[in-house]
Amino acid sequence: MAFDLEHIPSQAGKTAIVTGANTGLGYETVINLAKKNCKVIMACRHPDRAEHAKADIEAKVPGANLEILLIDLSDLSSVRAFAQAFRQQYDRLDLLINNAGIMWPPYALTVDGFESQMGTNYLGHFLLTMLLLDLMPDTPESRVVSLSSNAHKLGSGAINFDDLHSEQNYSKTGAYAQSKLACLMFGNELQRWLANAGKQIRSITAHPGVSNTELARHMPQYQIDLIQYTIGPLLCHPPAQAAMPIVMAALDPEAQGGEYFGPQGFLEMKGQPGRATQSDYAQNQAAAEHLWDVSEQLTESTFALPQTQAVTTP
Ligand SMILES: NC(=O)c1ccc[n+]([C@@H]2O[C@H](COP(=O)([O-])OP(=O)(O)OC[C@H]3O[C@@H](n4cnc5c(N)ncnc54)[C@H](OP(=O)(O)O)[C@@H]3O)[C@@H](O)[C@H]2O)c1
C-alpha cells in the first residue's frame, strides 16, 4: 500500500490538534494538514516558539488556518485547562495527533510526580485523549494518532509496573523506551476499546524512524555532530519525510484502526511510509489493559463512550 498525499482530498471542515507543533515532526505534520485545508490547533508549551512556527507555516502555506493553544503535557492541570479551552471554542475534533515528546533528559519528575518522559510522552497524552475523545464524530475519518518509536523494542522491552517512574533506578534511554512502548500499547488498547464500544473512530500508531530534530537536545553536541557527519546520512531522513507515517495514519482512507506505520527502509529507520512492526510485548493485550487501568488511576481520569452497538467476544 503506497501512500500518496497528492491523492488525499481536501480536509476542509476538519479540525486537528497537533501537540508539539512548533518544531520537528509536529511542525511538518501541521504543514501537511494545512496544505490539505485542515484547521490545525497547534498545541505548544512556549508561546514565542509557537508564534514563530505559526508565522513560518503561514508563509509557506498561504491560507493556512492555524491557531495556537498552550499546553504543558508535563502538568496534568495544564492538560485539563487545554481541553477546557478547546471545548469552549469547538464542538468537534477530527484528528488528535499525540506527537509531543522529550528524549533522554536528566532524571526529573513532572508536576504530578511522574518520571518526566513517561509523564510527558505518555500520561499527558493519555489524559488529553480521554478529555477530548467524545468530541470526535463517529466516523473512520476521526483519528487518534499516537507516536511511538523503534525504541519501544529497546531496554527491557516491557513496562516496569513495579517502578513506572524510575524511582529505584533511572536509565534515561530505558525510560524513553518505556514511554514510547506505553504510547504504542495505548494506541492498540484504545483501538480495542473503541471497537468494543461499537465506534468507527480509529486509533492508529506511527513512528518516524530516525530524524535529526530537536529531540536530541539532551545529547552532548559532540555526539550529535559525530552522528551527523558519519553514519547520520545513512540512517536518518529529514523531518519532512520522517513525518509522513504520521500523516499517513491521520489521512490515508485505507488506514485501519490498530495499524502501526513507519518508514520502510533498513530497520525502519528511513524511507517511504508503510506498515511497521511492533514487538510482541507491545501487542500483549493483558499488559495493555493493565497499563490502561494504571493510567486512569494516575491521571484520575475515567471515560466511557456511549456504546453504539453490542460487541460479543467469544
Ligand atoms: N526524531 C526522531 O528520530 C524520532 C524517532 C522516534 C520517535 N520520535 C517521536 O516523534 C515525536 C516528535 O519528536 P521530534 O523528533 O519532532 O522532537 P522535537 O523536535 O524535539 O519536538 C518535540 C516537540 O514536543 C514539544 N514538547 C516537549 N515537551 C512538551 C511538553 N511538556 N508539553 C508540550 N509540548 C512539549 C516540544 O516543544 P518545545 O519546542 O517548546 O520544547 C516540541 O514542539 C516524539 O514523540 C518523539 O518521541 C522521534
Query: Rounded to the nearest whole angstrom, what is the distance from the C-alpha of residue 307 to the centroid of ligand 1?
Result: 34
Q: Which set of grid coordinates corresponds to residue 57?
A: 507555516
Work out which ligand 1 atom sits closest to the CA atom of 120.
31
Please tell me the distance from the alpha carbon of residue 263 to that of residue 251, in angstroms, as a whole number. 16
**DSSP helix/strand/coil, 96:** strand
CB of 188 within 8 A of CB of 287? no
Q: Name the CATH topology of 5-299.
A: Rossmann fold (3.40.50)
Q: What is the mean pLDDT of residues 28-34?
A: 98
Query: Rounded to the nearest whole angstrom, what is the distance from the C-alpha of residue 196 to the centroid of ligand 1?
Result: 31
Q: In the predicted model, is pLDDT for residue 129 greater than 50? A: yes
* pLDDT reported for residue 219: 86
pLDDT digits (tens, 9 = 90+) for 32-67: 999 999 999 999 999 999 999 999 999 999 999 999
Burial state string for 234-248 with b = 16 or more CB within 10 A and e = fewer than 16: ebbbebebbbbbbbb
Please tell me the distance from the alpha carbon of residue 23 to that of residue 32, in angstroms, as a whole number. 14
Instruction: Decide: residue 149, CB within 10 A, 0-12 exposed, 13-18 middle, 19+ buried.
Output: buried
Ligand 1: residue of 23, 68, 186, 237 to mutate (most ligand atoms within 8 A of CB) is 23
Which amino acid is it at 115?
Answer: E
* Average model confidence (pLDDT) across the chain: 94
Q: What is the mean pLDDT of residues 74-101?
A: 98
> Residues for the chain: how many in total?
314
Nearest to 189 by CA among 291, 266, 106: 291
- Alpha helix segments (H runs only) across 97-238: 116-117, 124-132, 172-196, 221-229, 232-235
Per-position DSSP letters for 111-126, written without gaps between them: TTS-BHHIIIIIIHHH
Q: What is the mean pLDDT of residues 81-92?
A: 97
pLDDT digits (tens, 9 = 90+) for 279-304: 999 999 999 999 999 999 999 998 77
Q: In the predicted model, is pLDDT for residue 226 greater than 80? A: no
Q: In the predicted model, is pLDDT for residue 309 greater than 60? A: no
Nearest CA to ligand 1 atom 48: 208
Contacts of 155-161 with C-beta under 8 Å, sequence gap 24+, read: 157/181, 157/279, 157/281, 158/281, 158/287, 159/185, 159/287, 159/291, 161/290, 161/291, 161/294
Q: In the predicted model, is pLDDT for residue 310 greater than 60? A: no
Nearest to 251 by CA among 139, 149, 142, 146: 142
* Residues annotated as catalytic (active site), given as ranges: 176
Q: How confident is the model at residue 1 (pLDDT cuts 50, 70, 90)?
A: low
